Amino acid sequence: MAKIHTLKINNYRCIEEFEHVFNANFFVCLIGRGDSGKSTLLQAIVAVLSPSWDYRFYDTDFFNGDTENPIIIEASLYDLPSDLLKESKFGLHKRILNRNNEIFDDISAEGAEGKDLLTIRLTVESDLEPKWHVINGRDNQEDIEIRASDRSKLNTFIVNDYIDRHLSWGKGSPLYSLLKREGEEIDTDQIIVDANRGAYESINNPEIFEPFNTLLERIKVFAQGLGLSMEALKALIDFKNFLVKEGNISLHDENDIPIRLKGKGTKRLLSIAIQLALATVEGGIILIDEIEQGLEPDRVKFLVNQLKEMNRGQVFITTHSNNVLVELEYNNLFLKNGGANKLVVFDEDFQGCLRNNPNAFFSRRVIVCEGATEVGICRALNDHMIATEKRSLELGAISLVDGTGNCFVDYCLKFNEAGFDVCAFCDSDNDTINEKKKELTENGIEVVDCAENNAIEQQLFNDLPWDKVTSLLEYAKDTSGEQSVFDRLSIRSLYELEDIKMTRELIGLEAKGKDKKKGWFKSIGHGEELGKVWFGSLNEIGGTRLKSQYDALINWIDRE
């Protein structure tokens, strides 16, 4: 069924200008900071494809409230209902989307072979009257109006905080659309007439209205005085004011309680279920704002996977949940930055990062760490800032990314390209990374690294006070075992460490791991211990590389 290929927006709410080509993506997850425009994108789709003939607009819907510049929203769609492509409808206005993702207005041109495509444009000017037309780029053809009844065939519905109408059979609701597509044998008009008659007969019992009898007798007397005989006068409910309409038929639970009174999660899931039932019949475009609202993590994960498996129609969601992101593929993800005129897309290099660092995609700024040790150190830095300065990485919208060594440089460049402010925190003992540092800085990425040829463990053991060195060795002995520490340092106890200079170099090498031996601090937890010692020694390490690394990290964190 219909899918959106291209979406264009001008002067709608927080968006002055926007265009994005979704190609063949049938599952689109929009992410971004608050007020970046994610929900506005969904509302724009709802507006341009609305099945309502009286969709309301207000002055506040215009960008910056400027009604002199019209709202224009265009959606180009393919896999359309055959009814809309008849020549008696919009077949003469169709365009062609070829295999190379090119759109042709001249359908007889060379290369114009592929899928039929219609472009629907919504225009709202200062009179606030919306106008919908099917358009193309042919000079000799006027735009043609597309009515609400035809737009309704696109089956576009949004799940947000205002979904109670989805739970009744009112015109324009998904239940109503499902009924019309699948339940032609159900004569709703006759059902409603019979229901009204039954309700009228049940309620209009004269005994119920006996409290009115005294008043009625007085009226009869006055009527008689005017020559009007009203002996049978009674008080009953007027049938015309008791009419039940389609919109009054709604879903109820086993206790006859309207579903609209249920919790948000239940209502949203049921609304989605209705739309999936509709999409199974004819497809459709399902829009879900903040998909995780009202749902436990397990339920939202299950829901996301069910929607991904839908093989008809198209799904657009927004989210701020890590539980959603870890269920997605990189090509499902689209980042909306505030003020940007298109979405940021991610390539397959991000798949591992998406699974391991989903929180980073919701941030404005990231510290990409070369490995788990650096991640742990930055976590300790965050704890230090909270304890001493009452501020944190979270308050600065900063997340930590584990570059896992091999992906470190790529993650730095990719996040930078996606519009994130990036800091690279790394060692200086890896030639491959060292060769790329100039490229990182040229792209505006802050590089915080160790002295030449040093890993972070070596830098720590070079610069920390001696009592902190021995305390870290005690920690390594307790976590890695005496054999790992003492044998590799050729000592029987820490008391045998005498030549401080030579010992520091040896300890640093063994701590990071050499000769295929595992280092002592290669985990986030161990990195946190290193960080605690480091940041607890700031008053003692002035003039060292460690202090300059700390200053560089703090300066970047404080940067606006």
Measured from the Cβ of residue 3, the count of other Cβ atoms closer than 10 Å reads 23
Residue 85 pLDDT: 96
Tell me the residue type at 207: E
Looking at the DSSP bridge assignments, the partners of residue 157 are: 286
Per-residue confidence of the chain (560 residues) as pLDDT tens digits?
Answer: 789 999 999 999 999 999 999 998 999 999 999 899 999 999 999 999 999 888 999 999 999 999 999 999 999 999 999 999 999 999 999 999 999 899 999 988 888 899 999 999 999 999 999 999 999 999 889 999 999 999 999 989 888 766 566 556 666 666 666 666 554 556 666 776 777 777 767 776 778 778 877 877 877 676 776 666 767 777 776 655 555 555 556 777 777 777 777 887 888 887 777 777 766 666 789 899 999 988 889 989 988 998 888 767 899 999 999 999 999 999 999 999 999 999 999 989 889 899 999 999 999 999 999 999 999 999 999 999 999 988 999 999 999 999 987 899 999 999 999 999 999 999 999 999 999 999 999 999 999 999 999 999 999 999 999 999 999 999 998 898 888 888 888 887 777 776 666 688 888 888 898 766 888 999 999 999 999 999 999 999 999 999 999 999 999 999 97
Tokens of residue 362, six digits = 């919701």
**Distance (Å, whole) CA 149 – CA 490:** 85
Contact 507, 455 (CB under 8 A): no
How high is the pLDDT of residue 341? Answer: 95
Residue 206 DSSP class:
G
The whole-angstrom separation of Cα 147 and Cα 131 is 9
Q: Go through 195-216 and write b for each residue having 16 or more CB atoms within 10 A of its CB, e for each that does not.
A: ebeeebeeebeeeeeeeeeeee
CATH 3.40.50 for domain 3-25+35-161: yes
Task: Report the pLDDT value the prediction gives residue 406, as an integer from 0 to 100.
Answer: 84
Cβ atoms of 46 and 16 within 8 Å: the answer is no
Question: Element (H or E) spanning 191, and its range?
Answer: helix 188-203
Domain positions in the chain are 3-25+35-161, 184-248, 346-560
Strands (E), 1-129: 3-12, 15-21, 27-31, 71-78, 95-98, 103-104, 114-124
CA distance 468 to 381: 17
Three-class SS of residue 509?
Answer: helix
Per the CB < 8 A criterion, the answer to whether 427 and 454 are in contact is yes
Is residue 285 within 8 Å of 4, Cβ to Cβ? yes
Kindly give the pairing relationship between strand 333-335 and strand 365-369: unpaired
Reduce the DSSP state of residue 134 to 3 states and report it. Answer: strand
Look at residue 440 in the predicted model and tell me its pLDDT: 98
Helices within 96-172 (DSSP H only): 148-151
Length of the chain: 560
Using DSSP, state whether 367 is helix, strand or coil. Answer: strand
Separation between Cα atoms, residue 4 and residue 457, nearest integer Å = 52
Please give the pLDDT value at position 344.
Answer: 94
Largest CA distance in the chain: 127
Give the closest residue to 314 by CA, choosing from 347, 279, 277.
Answer: 279
* pLDDT of amino acid 202: 74
